[in-house]
Structure 1
Amino acid sequence: MTQTSSATRQDGASPHTSAIGRFLRATEIDTRLLGMIGALALIWIGFHLYGATFKGFGAFLTPRNLWNLSVQTASIGIMATGMVLVIITRHIDLSVGSMLGVCAVVMGVVQVQVLPGLIGFGNPAIWIIAAIIGMAVGTMIGAFHGFIIAYGKVPAFIVTLGGLLVWRGVAYLITRGETIAPLDETFKLLGGGPYGAIGETGSWIVGLLGCAGVLWLLWNGRKRRRSYEFPLRPLWAEGVLGTIGCVLIIGAVLVVNAYPWPKGIVRQYAKANNIEVPDGGLFISHGFAIPVLILVAVGIAMTVLLNRTRFGRYVLAIGGNPDAAELAGINTRLMTVKIFALMGLLTGLSSVVASARLGSATNSLGTLDELYVIAAAVIGGTSLAGGVGTIYGAILGAFVMQSLQTGMVLIGFDSAMQQIVVGSVLVFAVFIDTIYRRNLK
């Protein structure tokens, strides 16, 4: 006699579970991830329809805007991946915007005023040395903050709040309020733009490699599960996940390749390379921007660090219960210094992208970025109570925040209204997180 009425199904779902519930259980898709994707889709569609209805033209869901949106998200997204680790361990970093500013002006001074006199103007090593110095400065500042927090027992809120004021002042003292320009031409490619992208062919190569990576991850994950005798996902679920991943990647490739270079730049490029421009114009695709590729690389590296290394396990253990982690032999003080140093390193890298995109360095660069970075991490599912957070969630959260800001600019909201909306979204995200955690208990 079978027990279909009381037993669960082979895939672990109850026979009374809805079709959606069985699908989510079989594919193991994070429901919070679906929620963020749904919110992002609503934002994009809402702003596009608003523009089409009241402005006469929907400008949001266009290749140009989506390409620019991805570039604008890169700087915040890079820092948000580090903020995930900081918040997981029950700390906060309010100084990242000011740190970005001081790293940017240091790099600007190095490549405009220092290195040309030492190794010659236009030396190909200038941008490399400047970027390394910027990231080193960020790392040292972050480690300094972590040291005071861990060994001085000063709350992270106070240390980084002081850092927010101190480093913004330092950036002003370095520049005396002046804009440092022009930056090295190769350095500026790291900020995007027509020349700071990899083009149509390069984008297809990246897209195909991404699809291959998705399929390999599914195959390797199934292999590891089988070796450890863990339950396997149904083959159809693996196929669905692979299909969704590849469709999203190929869709992204099609979008970035659909955005052409501006006509003026095309004419300059054709003239410099002796290319004849046809009557209908010359179509040259941007492809993926370099800042976006940097963000993707950072996201992959940070995901591996958090989920596949001892360092990541220590981070989650400290966030779950700091006292138990210390009793288990984890050097929580040293870990705190390392986490804030990593946050500083990523802030330095973000300053490379931000200043390269601007083409200059100013002491005001990064103002209010701390708000967007923290909001991106929290919207992405990182709990302020500690112990919970994902890298991909923070990157999606950064896209949500930047989409809101870009959409409000397109429909004509002033800066005051933008700040009201961003602040309200942050509070609402924390409220949702509180309800979510309460329901889990």
Structure 2
Amino acid sequence: MADTMKSVAFDGARTATESPVKRFFRATEIDTRLLGMIGALLIIWVGFEILTGGLFLTPRNLWNLTVQTSSVAVMATGMVLIIVTRNIDLSVGSLLGFCGMIMGVMQAQILPAYLGAGSPMIWIVTLVVGIAVGASIGALHGLIIAFLNVPSFIVTLGGLLVWRGATWFVTSGQTVAPMDATFRLMGGGTEGSIGATASWIVGLIACLAIVAALLNARKQRKRFGFPRRPVWAEYVLGVLSCVLVLGAVLVANSYYWPVNIARRYAEANAIAWPEGGLQISHGIAIPVLIAVVVGIVMTFISTRLRFGRYVFAIGGNPEAAELAGIKTRWVTVRIFMLMGALCAIAAAISTARLNAATNAQGELDELYTIAAAVIGGTSLAGGTGTIAGAMLGAFVMQSLQSGMVLLGIDSPFQRIVVGLVLVVAVWLDTVYRARAK
């Protein structure tokens, strides 16, 4: 009892001496590293907005930015688990290209002969085959790494070369196009968006889900006797999250169809063309929805399932994890298998967006994916990383690239910037870990 009273008195004294800002962050439990990354993103946006003369923060550019980020963001969620276990995967870009080529050949050449051109099953079978191929290749990498004890760096470096070469051999270097009409919706564009009304519905559902998650977390903390956040902190988190979601929906709905496409749509549907033109909102793009769903699922896997706990346990101390009874080798196989499946999903988004499967597809994506995970707070020393951070890191990387394109900066210099950002991110992680000890 005396110890409890002393602890309460100490906490009260500490709270009284803390600044309001520290008390706010302690009460809301906001990840300061994630908040710092958001601050860096805002600085990048404001800087490019000034340098481009107001072109960067337009609804059109922000909408395109989210679509362009989707495929790398999907792969970055898997790369988090890879790096957390002290491994690396250098083959993701080549695997994306190979899966994309397989899916392109399936829907453009093979399936129409069996299912008939325009069959609604083409895109479904194509996606299933692509994910199966990606997961199988990932499992192969994992088996070699886990059971033959070959370092992941070497295995995936070999995979980078093997699957890039295999992509060429599938069609002898030829580009495969066009893709199935329904499959193309996964790439975004005018038709690959859900429109204004559906976007608001998705936004409201997301807000309800956020509120439900906060209430459930508070209930679980009370149930197990864990300390709960102050009620005002719960309100702040809920309001901030909902404002961000609805703000993103507003931006997506502020980007309208091009005039020519809107005019053709009006003519096809016998709609009178108004004097000021017909404004039809794109809304949220389908690839963005896919990336968000993947992020939610991967967050659930990494934080709520036993498999996720095993992953972080292995990254924290592999020897202790094995002594605790965790089958570390099979966990490694499943991680790389999951990474392969995510590469296939990213390949579907990329192929649908290009409306073609090419030999150059996915080149250097392995670097952007690793950079996104590291910038998002995933430590190369293992044991630390978040899915949300990696997806935000992908957004930061794409923002840099998009801003440099708008400024007319050459591609070689863009790669220099990406390399410097990656080195700085690793250095900051090293500094952060040293101070945390």
Same fold (TM over 0.5): yes
What is aligned with 1:370? 366
* Residue of 66, 72, 89 corresponding to 1:70: 66
SS at match of 1:14: helix
SS of the residue corresponding to residue 52 of structure 2 reads helix
1: CA distance between counterparts of 2:155 and 2:268?
52
**Matches of 1:268 and 1:164, distance apart in 2:** 44
The structural deviation recorded for 1:13 is 4.5
How far off is 1:175 after superposition?
2.0
Q: Distance in 2 between matches of 1:156 and 1:290?
A: 33
The yes-or-no answer on 1:38 pairing with 2:34 is no
Helix, strand or coil at the partner of 2:96: helix
> Per-residue displacement from partner, 1:14-54 (whole Å, max 9, x unpaired)?
321111100000000000011110000001110001112xx
Taking the TM superposition and a 5 Å limit, the aligned residue runs for 1:339-418 are: 339-418=335-414
- 8 Å CA contact 1:7–1:14 kept in 2: the answer is no
Separation (CA, whole Å) in 1 of partners of 2:93 and 2:49:
30
Query: Is the Cα–Cα contact under 8 Å of residues 139 and 343 in structure 1 kept in the other structure?
Result: yes
Q: How many correspondences in the alignment?
A: 432
Structure 2: gaps spanning 5 or more residues: none
Compute the RMSD of aligned alpha carbons.
1.2
Which residue is equivalent to 1:307? 303
Distance 2:187 2:52 in 1: 28
Q: Tell me if the contact between 1:13 and 1:22 (Cα under 8 Å) persists in the aligned partners.
A: no
Counterpart-to-counterpart distance in 1, 2:309 and 2:11: 33
In structure 2, which of residues 83, 86, 90 is the aligned counterpart of residue 87 of structure 1? Answer: 83
| Shift, 1:167, TM fit | 0.3
1:439 is matched with 435
Show the counterpart of 1:208.
204
Measured in 2, the distance between the counterparts of 1:26 and 1:404 equals 33
Aligned to 1:422: 418
Structure 1 residues 197-254: Cα deviation after superposition (integer angstroms, max 9, x where no partner): 0000000000000110111111111111111111111111111101100100110011
Residue in 2 that maps onto 1:28: 29
Instruction: Measure how far apart 1:7 and its partner are.
Output: 3.5
Give 1:9 deviation, angstroms. 4.4
Aligned to 2:178, which of 176, 179, 182?
182
Query: How far apart, CA to CA, are the structure 2 residues paired with 1:107 and 1:382?
Result: 31
In the alignment, the residues of structure 1 paired with residue 326 and residue 172 of structure 2 have an alpha-carbon distance, to the nearest angstrom, of 44
Equivalent AA in structure 2 for residue 147 of structure 1? L
Per-residue deviation at 1:8? 3.7
Pick the aligned partner of 1:232 from 200, 221, 228: 228
Give the equivalent residue in structure 2 for 1:194: 190
Looking at structure 2, the residues matched to 286 and 373 of structure 1 have their Cα atoms a distance apart, in angstroms, of 27
Superposed structure 1 runs of 4+ greater than 2 Å apart: 6-10
1:39 maps to a residue whose letter is A
Counterpart of 1:335 (choices 331, 349, 357) is 331
Tell me, yes or no, if the aligned pair for 1:111 and 1:127 is still in contact at 8 Å.
Answer: yes
In the alignment, the residues of structure 1 paired with residue 52 and residue 187 of structure 2 have an alpha-carbon distance, to the nearest angstrom, of 28
**Aligned-partner Cα distance in 1 for 2:42–2:124:** 38
Gaps (5+ residues) in structure 1?
53-57
Aligned counterparts of 2:152 and 2:76: Cα–Cα separation in 1: 17
Distance 1:332 1:262 in 2: 53
Question: Are 2:219 and 1:223 aligned?
Answer: yes
Amino acid at match of 1:375: A
Structure 1 residue 422: deviation in Å? 0.2
TM-score for both structures, normalised by structure 2: 0.97
Report percent identity of matched pairs. Answer: 62
Q: 1:229 and 1:323 mapped to 2: Cα distance?
A: 31
